[in-house]
Structure 1
Amino acid sequence: MNNPNQRRATRRHILCASVAAALAMTAAVPAAFAQEAATTLDRITVTGSNIPRTNTETPSPVQVVTRQEIDRTGKSTVA
């Protein structure tokens, strides 16, 4: 292998073999993480109104936490 062209060719062959091996390994990875078939979900229909309203006219989500519930958790703040 005294010829520079032969050295370059050998390096190219090694590089190509390394790239091919890396690509072959990445092709096998998705099969290892394959999941079961997707489940079919029920259809959900969301309806709404584009009429602007104030917050006092519409219901707002509220969660009530009683003193007993706070005492039961043992926490000193609600943060």
Structure 2
Amino acid sequence: MVLPLIITNEGDGFNAEIPTLPGCESWAHTEEEVIEKITELARYYMKLPPSKKIKTDLKEREGNTLHYRLIF
């Protein structure tokens, strides 16, 4: 399964959202931290076991926006 992940640099931190999972959004001070938080939230939202690996793959950068793919 592959889900889109959009991260936006807001200057004072980073917003992350998975558009295909309504309400699955997070904020953090660093890009790495927001990826960790949103991945954990996606795991919870989808009821995935901790043993299930989730890989992040940077697809493209577009200004202040980063487009990733979450790969399960």
Bigger relative CO (Cα 8 Å, ≥ 6 apart): 2
Which is higher, the Rg of structure 1 or of structure 2?
Answer: 1
Specify the TM-score bucket, using the shorter chain as the normaliser.
under 0.3
Q: Which has more helix, going by share of residues?
A: 1
TM-score (norm 1): 0.23
| TM superposition score normalised by structure 2 | 0.25
Q: Which has the higher strand share?
A: 2
